[in-house]
Amino acid sequence: MRPVNRAFYATVCSGKGGVGKSTIAVLLSSRLADAGYRTLLVDADCGLGDLATLTNSIVRRGFEAVLAGTATLEEATVKIGPRLWLIGTEAGARLSGQTPELTGLSNCAQIDTLFDVVIIDTPSSLDPLILNLIAMCDLSISVTTPHIPAIADSYIQIKQACEVSDRGSAAFIVNKADSEIEGDQSTAKFSELVEKFLTRTMLALGYLEFNPLVQKYSESQSLTTIPTELDGAVKKLDRMVKTLREQHIDKARRGSSLWERLGEAMALKRVVGFDDTQVMVHN
């Protein structure tokens, strides 16, 4: 099952930590792999990400090394399940200086020929590189909770990404809702906020209710094979995957992919004298 032209790229993002973004990235990736797609999960929270821990994987070379051109795609990619692979991050690593390098972007471009779907887990950050990743993917999936601070922070991140580029589509998921009523109300509230102040529409993928078993299986590093006890969450995830397939993944994609877009953005920054000496900084 290969989509036309190139891989489909989606970022999973949030404006606030602790909303379950990385867990959702793993769950969506595993369901997409189960649906028959060759799926690559990427940890872009360089030096601080926990996808390797969540998937019980060993990372030898990270995403930051691939972008810097010091590691090949083959060196950094780890198979973590049937039709599911991971590019993690090395502990303590960070992106700085003139990265991503053109050699690194060339390495990443190989992804288009190897995978059907790429899910990139990004940090809760307004860093220029992260905003470019969010804005230039085919789809950005913002994760929020029903709480006002999480909604506000996600809105700010979306707003900043829209100012970088509005060429990609956007969607959102409400996580950790206490009930169906709260999930529905929070979904409506977030949609209204974005449409009113950003004058754009975001696809509501749905909501997930708070479930302590998700935390349990996260801690036991077994989320890539979802247990039967999470049947309710699985059904909601499968509806999300169905929507993604019908509205995005299975449609033909023409034009430049993520890595070409990032290369173009880098070239533009050099022309206008953009100070790119600190691409990523963690507070």
Q: Does pTM top 0.85 for this prediction?
A: yes
pLDDT digits (tens, 9 = 90+) for 107-160: 899 999 999 999 999 999 888 888 988 999 999 999 999 998 999 999 999 999
Inter-axis angle of helices 21-34 and 231-244, nearest 10: 70
In the chain, the domains with their CATH numbers are: 8-271 (3.40.50.300)
Average pLDDT in the chain: 85
Structure tokens at 150: 């999480």
For position 142, what pLDDT does the model report?
A: 95
Other CB atoms within a 10 A radius of the CB of residue 81 amount to 16
DSSP 249: I
3-state class (DSSP) for residue 73: helix
Pick the residue with more confidence: 139 or 101?
A: 139
Other CB atoms within a 10 A radius of the CB of residue 182 amount to 17
Q: What's the rounded Cα separation, in Å, for the pair 262 and 256?
A: 10
For position 179, what pLDDT does the model report?
A: 93
Is residue 37 within 8 Å of residue 271, measured between CB atoms?
A: no
For position 110, what pLDDT does the model report?
A: 93
Dmax of the chain from CA atoms? 55
For position 219, what pLDDT does the model report?
A: 64
For position 226, what pLDDT does the model report?
A: 64
Pick the residue with more confidence: 230 or 16?
A: 16
pLDDT digits (tens, 9 = 90+) for 215-245: 776 665 556 666 666 677 888 999 999 999 9
Q: How confident is the model at residue 268 (pLDDT cuts 50, 70, 90)?
A: low
Other CB atoms within a 10 A radius of the CB of residue 225 amount to 10
3-state class (DSSP) for residue 46: coil
